[in-house]
Chains A and B, each alone.
Chain A
């Protein structure tokens, strides 16, 4: 177990550097310039100046200067040279709060002049995590229960109806389900607020909308796994021992049937937490998904790389968590 964790954690920086290289190369290849102001075009000398300031005129210079600040080397250098202490002292002398310098500096946003990528992610990531985690929680509960119901009586009305609801959940795009939910529950019934974020009530609707495709997929995985394990010999044994049906279903069958769901849960959680762009738009949720799309539209290199790196890290970490859980739930795997 420890070697697994250690190996994955050691691989993390290597993977991130590869991801960074690919992302930057692709972003750089996209036509358009990040410093163009759509309505009032800046003068050529202004563009020249900005290109120099952000190293946009040279791919290698940008590549290495970003690596320097994002990996914390720049911070370390400023710390050792005493530059950080000097800045802090200067602020204190003026009676002002000391400037905030993050260790891992992901650079400024090219579109939003005043914000660093660190700040943008710090503002939006908790929102996305709340939304994504709630959605996966809902998906897990709904999906598992309907999957079990379906598997107990295959091809029954209950099974067919959960299956068709699951199909609808997978096939309908979330801007349709989201808009319908918003219309019915917020506008007509007035149960949930519109375009507000922060309270549990405001989280419920977008989280539910986001959970639907995940719930549908989990239901199908559970159903398949359950049908398979309900036909296995050890279930017959469990029943023969006189166990009540409830115990047989949950303790014996579900435990095995749940494993594919568990392995799906890792990437699903990462996706739900970062890739909910459409749901965020429809429900005006101030999450990170928005930045994935708008950063690319704006050619905001720093922000593109920042969100991609965060997403990659989450994907790797959640997969690791799932792997650990896996071994713990089913010791055979280790």
Chain B
């Protein structure tokens, strides 16, 4: 009889062992849910927003953005001060003496040379390698390395050991080649001199970008070694594990369990540690959007960085209702210049106030294929800019934003979200039926569109195909757009829903007529949006080619006067969204946050949507200054007001 109990005993033993091996740790001072699981903590290989957000917690670059300033000002970080030469190509950074790695070693100029060299190597396939090619000699170094690797692949070796020593030798040569060709010099441990190929007005913005943050050479180099087969540097994972990773930011990584959680503790050696108001951060991995909201409601989570639950539209609607109830007070506070989080903090507490729609540095748009012929060989009506303009004006963008998305997102007339880049003036953009003041204006826009179609010689005898991938509500948006076109232009439409991978391939091969798209900016300069329409750019899915547009971007890239440069770029965007219209901006994205405005402070409302979570202070936890940290004017305030 007792033998029947053996399976039960075995199971109990199994449970006991696995539970004991896995002790929970106390709740961190701040628990937030990132928009997705972190892919990598290797800054040079990052490209995802949630990776970059985490990188800014554990690493620190030469400079950083003051995300709480209206101008998103550049402020000192590892570099205490810097000088820019008159010809704007030589940058001299003075690194602070007390910048430290989390093991107490000083952060030096060599660390930056090492880290940036990693990004410049073809071996590491950094997504953002192109940004480093602005540095003098970087492109030549990259090309040299590619050539050498090709030659190595073709070489014959007598033995395996000879092959191996040759691969090490090539690596030594590569390091020497870098020292010789790339204009990054470190005359002493705390001075870094960088020479650019040509003036890059947004170079300081790049220096604040997480991909430019340093890694600790003695650790990282152990996980990289030349591959005897190909001569390439092979990267092994392992140095980004909790307890192993050594970093120089406000926090250090103590634990990282895949699809489970990440734990950060304050870096005891961080130079600005006294201004960090939290000691520990937990970033649990919650993939189910609904579970995230539930966890927030039970108090297990303090901040959700991207609410994607299907009912978030209702959450935003409730927030608007709450604001409407206090409309008078909100108007007064707005007039005082308070930011949206600071306003929420002044209003009476209410669970509805925990939802926040924050404008994002990204735009949802529709691509027109600009090629003369369609994939099926028929002439493409959208090859004519007049047709594109007509279609663009007749999309009811208001209906998409207010009835489909329902996140309080602004309709878009430009590709770059207005007001997101200091010193840049957005063009007017084409009028749109959704934004018409009254019916008469609406009718006029429709009549104008129809005239454009007639001029172009296109009667209503063609069918427009709208391509989109099948997730995230793109189908509803496509339906709304199709309805607009059918109703106002009398054009037949066909909806073409695709699997994401196939959709992406067709976009790349220009096998579509019109297709949904979206773009998020990487750095605070118009080129981060405008470059994707350059005729030869890898992301020019529209096959758009206007020499005048390219010429404006080319001229801007050599223009030394920042004001003139911005004018050139603004003119380029004007051509893009008013004349040529290879794409129709529909709306600018909003990100939905969840946090208690009376408890959490230090988050930015700037349209660049970049958060430095180390600025967060949990009010009422007895740590830090316990003072709200609202948005402030910042150093460039005067310039900002003019624009």
What residues make up the interface of A, taking CB atoms closer than 8 Å to B?
A: 31-32, 36-43, 45-46, 49-50, 52-53, 87, 90-91, 94-97, 99-100, 108-109, 111-116, 119-120, 123-124, 126-127, 129-130, 133-134, 136-137, 140-141, 182, 186-187, 190, 193-200, 203, 250-251, 254-255, 258, 262, 265, 269, 281-284, 286, 290-291, 321, 325, 328-329
Contact = CB atoms under 8 A, between A and B. Distances in A.
A224 B295 CA distance: 43
A113 B40 contact: yes
9 contacts: A49-B123, A129-B18, A133-B11, A140-B7, A194-B294, A194-B300, A283-B291, A284-B284, A325-B6
Given A196-B300, A328-B3, A133 B14 contact: yes
A145 to B, nearest CB: 12
A91 B216 CA distance: 13
Contacts of A43: 538
A319 B353 CA distance: 55
A109 B237 CA distance: 9
Contacts of B501: 31-32, 36
Which of B12, B234, B237, B297 has its CB near the most chain A CB atoms (within 10 A)?
Answer: B237
A114 B22 contact: no
Q: Which secondary structure characterizes the binding site on chain A?
A: helix
Contact of B288 (A108, A113, A282): A282
A165 B31 CA distance: 40
Interface in B253-302: 257-261, 284-288, 291-292, 294-295, 297-298, 300-301
A95 B219 CA distance: 10
B181 interface: no
Contact of B45 (A113, A182, A250, A290): A113
Interface string B31-47: 00000010111100101
Interface stretch (B110-118, B238-246, B599-607): B238-246
Interface in B489-545: 500-501, 504, 508, 520, 538-539
Given A52-B232, A284-B291, A286-B261, 8 more contacts: A99-B239, A114-B39, A114-B40, A115-B237, A119-B237, A186-B294, A325-B6, A328-B6
A70 B84 CA distance: 53
A198 B23 contact: yes
Interface string B4-15: 101110111011
Contacts of B41: 114
Contacts of A321: 10
Contacts of A254: 4
A38 to B, nearest CB: 7
Nearest to B232: A53
Interface residues of B, number: 69
Given A130-B22, A265-B7, A195 B127 contact: no
B237 A113 contact: yes
Contacts of B232: 49, 52-53
B440 interface: no
User: Which of A116, A182, A194 has its CB near the most chain B CB atoms (within 10 A)?
Assistant: A194
Contacts of A119: 237, 241, 258
A127 B22 contact: yes
B377 interface: no
Contacts of A129: 14, 18
B326 interface: no
Interface in B135-190: none
A124 B127 contact: no
Contacts of B134: none
Given A42-B127, A126-B22, A195-B291, A250 B11 contact: no
Nearest to A321: B10
A97 B244 CA distance: 7
Nearest to A120: B258
Contact of A116 (B3, B18, B234, B238): B238
A113 B127 CA distance: 13
Contacts of A42: 125, 127
Contacts of B258: 112, 115, 119-120, 123-124, 286
Contacts of B123: 49
A5 to B, nearest CB: 16
A330 B287 CA distance: 46
A104 B540 CA distance: 44
A41 B295 contact: no
Interface in B463-508: 500-501, 504, 508
Given A36-B501, A41-B508, A196-B300, A286 B260 contact: yes
Contacts of A282: 288, 291
Contact of B39 (A111, A134, A251): A111
B622 interface: no
B230 interface: yes
Contact of B237 (A41, A108, A130, A290): A108
B547 interface: no
Contacts of A291: 259
A119 B241 CA distance: 10
Most buried by A among B23, B240, B259: B259
B21 interface: yes
A123 B260 CA distance: 8
A133 B218 contact: no
A140 B8 CA distance: 8
A116 B222 CA distance: 16
Contacts of A258: 4
A287 to B, nearest CB: 9
Contacts of B47: 37, 40
A134 B287 contact: no
B335 interface: no
A46 B127 contact: yes
Interface in B336-374: none
A195 B286 contact: yes
B623 interface: no
Contacts of B291: 194-195, 282-284
B334 interface: no
Contact of A91 (B45, B127, B222): B222
Nearest to A281: B288
Given A193-B300, A194-B291, A195-B292, A114 B240 contact: yes
Nearest to A130: B18
A254 B3 CA distance: 12
Contact of A137 (B8, B218, B236, B237): B8
A169 B11 CA distance: 22
Please name the 5 residue pairs, one residue from A and one from B, whose CB atoms are nearest each other, closest first: A198-B24, A286-B260, A195-B295, A113-B40, A94-B218
B363 to A, nearest CB: 13
Interface string B100-126: 000100000000000000000011010
A197 B260 contact: yes
Contacts of B539: 40-41
A312 B294 CA distance: 35
